[in-house]
Structure formats: structure tokens, C-alpha cells
């Protein structure tokens, strides 16, 4: 089968583990030159080593996306250099998930979660999208979450940041789409731990009762959805949030 991303370059944030790692590995397997980024150098190098062992192209760029424009701009610059001067695909995956209840959330935690989950991808996109447009186009894929639309206890802070990312997906599509930059999002459901949602195995299974899938998903499921959005097959898809959640947010299975 032809490599669907042959000749493309990609930056995947938070790709030293879990969903981000799966996306980086799938993109590389499909021919893309991938920059793996994250705070943990040891894990990042391990991901790159694994990709290269299978014949893929990958480099690691250390990044602590703290929400500052400076940190996002620095990653954009280093990743662009590592990828030979251009980024065709940006995946805004990096995120944190402290899960205190609303009344137990202090201001420091609130600011940190918004800094990592919203400000960092905002300024990273601001750094990369114009260069994509100048080069003739590109693709941006954001990571949302099922709990942005299905309320759960103790999820207010995190879910609100993912709601912001889904809104930014539509806004950026309107802003950058006419310049040739497609912007979409993937909204993962309950994924096999460790996941961004931090769901323990037994709890995750319970949360998927009454859904068509009936069980939790895997990082690979999210990675393949991201691959479709990155590929030219999805060239007519703009400003869309693709739910990959086993039907959690949209379907109730009623047993007789």
C-alpha cells in the first residue's frame, strides 16, 4: 500500500507516550518525517529509536510548552529546522489533566492547565500556520475530548480547556482555511490507560457501558483518525471535530 504521507513533515506535541506517541508512529509508518516532542528526553529518544528501527524518519526536540509564546515559538523554530525548513502537519496533542473538583481547584492549578492545554497550542499555531500558508498549505489537527460535551464529575477544568480547543478548531478553520491550511480536531473517548483522561482500567470499562463499542479504545484508534485528517483523502474536511469515542457522546444502547 502506498505511504499516504510520503514527502510530508509533521510535528506532534506531547508525543513521548500514549496518544501522541501512537500518532507519531503511525505518521512515520506512512512516510512522514516526524518531530517527536515533549519534556522527557529519555522517552522521546526511545520513540525516535523505535521509529527509525522500522525504517521511518524521526527526530526528537525537547519542549516544555508552558503556555508562553516564547516556548511555543522556540519549538516551532527548532522543529522547522529539524524537518528541513517546513512543517506540513501540526498535531496539538500535549496536555495535562489535574482533576480536582471546582471548589478544590486553586488559581495556580487553573492557570497551569489553561497554559498547557490552551495557550501553548494557541501560540504554537500562531507561529506555524502563517508559514504553512506561505508554503502553499498545511494541516493542523487538535485534540479535543469526549468530556468537552458530556459532563462528568470533577472534570470541569480539563473539559473546559478541551471545549476551548474545539472552538479554536472552528475559528482557526475560518481564519486559516482560505489560506490553504485545513484545521480539524479528533475527540478521543475513554482510551486504554495511561491516557489524557487518566482513567483507571476498571473505571474506564464502567464508563463505556451502554455504548455501541462497550469497551475502551486504544491510542491507535486515535492515531488512525488523525492520519485520515492529515491525508489528502480528507481535503474537503474543514473545521470538524471527529469523535473517536466508541459512541460515548452520541449513542445510548438500550438493552431490553
- From 55-64, 68-77, 128-137, 239-248, the region with the lowest mean pLDDT: 239-248
Residue 4 resides in a domain: no
Q: Go through 216-244 and write b for each residue having 16 or more CB atoms within 10 A of its CB, e for each that does not.
A: bbebebbbbbbbebbeeebeeebbbbbbb
At 187-245, the pLDDT tens digits run 999 888 554 444 455 567 787 878 887 788 899 999 999 999 999 999 999 999 999 98
Number of domains in the chain: 1
Residue 141 resides in a domain: yes
Q: How confident is the model at residue 256 (pLDDT cuts 50, 70, 90)?
A: very low
The Cα–Cα gap between 85 and 189 comes to: 35
Residue 255 resides in a domain: no
For residue 54, give its domain range.
9-244
Which of residues 210 and 24 earns the better pLDDT score?
A: 24
Residue 133 resides in a domain: yes
Q: Which residues are catalytic?
A: 158
Residue 250 resides in a domain: no
CATH number at residue 186: 3.40.50.720
Residue 128 resides in a domain: yes
Q: How confident is the model at residue 1 (pLDDT cuts 50, 70, 90)?
A: low
Residue 115 resides in a domain: yes
Residue 249 resides in a domain: no
The Cα–Cα gap between 129 and 205 comes to: 38
pTM of the model: 0.93
Q: How confident is the model at residue 172 (pLDDT cuts 50, 70, 90)?
A: very high
Amino acid at each position: 500500500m502506498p505511504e499516504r504521507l510520503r514527502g510530508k513533515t509533521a510535528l506532534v506535541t506531547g508525543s513521548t507516550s500514549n496518544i501522541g506517541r501512537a500518532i507519531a508512529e503511525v505518521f512515520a509508518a506512512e512516510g512522514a518525517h516526524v518531530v517527536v516532542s515533549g519534556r522527557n528526553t529519555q522517552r522521546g529518544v526511545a520513540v525516535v529509536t523505535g521509529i527509525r528501527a522500522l525504517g521511518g524518519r524521526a527526530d526528537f526536540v525537547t519542549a516544555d510548552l508552558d503556555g508562553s509564546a516564547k516556548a511555543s515559538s522556540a519549538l516551532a523554530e527548532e522543529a522547522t529546522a529539524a524537518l528541513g525548513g517546513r512543517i506540513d502537519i501540526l498535531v496539538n496533542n500535549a496536555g495535562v489533566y489535574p482533576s480536582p473538583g471546582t471548589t478544590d481547584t486553586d488559581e495556580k492549578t487553573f492557570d497551569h492547565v489553561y497554559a498547557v492545554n490552551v495557550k501553548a497550542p494557541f501560540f504554537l499555531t500562531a507561529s506555524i500556520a502563517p508559514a504553512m500558508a506561505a508554503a502553499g498549505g498545511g494541516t493542523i489537527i487538535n485534540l479535543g475530548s469526549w468530556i468537552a460535551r458530556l459532563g462528568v464529575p470533577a472534570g470541569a477544568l480539563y473539559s473546559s480547556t478541551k471545549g476551548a480547543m474545539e472552538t479554536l478548531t472552528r475559528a482557526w478553520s475560518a481564519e486559516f482555511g482560505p489560506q490553504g491550511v485545513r484545521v480539524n480536531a479528533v475527540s478521543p473517548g475513554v482510551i486504554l490507560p495511561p491516557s489524557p483522561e487518566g482513567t483507571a482500567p476498571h473505571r474506564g470499562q464502567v464508563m463505556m457501558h451502554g455504548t455501541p463499542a462497550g469497551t475502551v479504545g486504544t491510542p491507535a484508534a486515535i492515531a488512525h483518525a488523525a492520519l485520515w485528517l492529515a491525508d489528502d483523502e480528507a481535503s474537503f474536511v474543514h473545521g470538524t471535530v471527529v469523535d473517536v469515542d466508541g459512541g460515548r457522546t452520541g449513542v445510548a444502547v438500550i438493552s431490553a
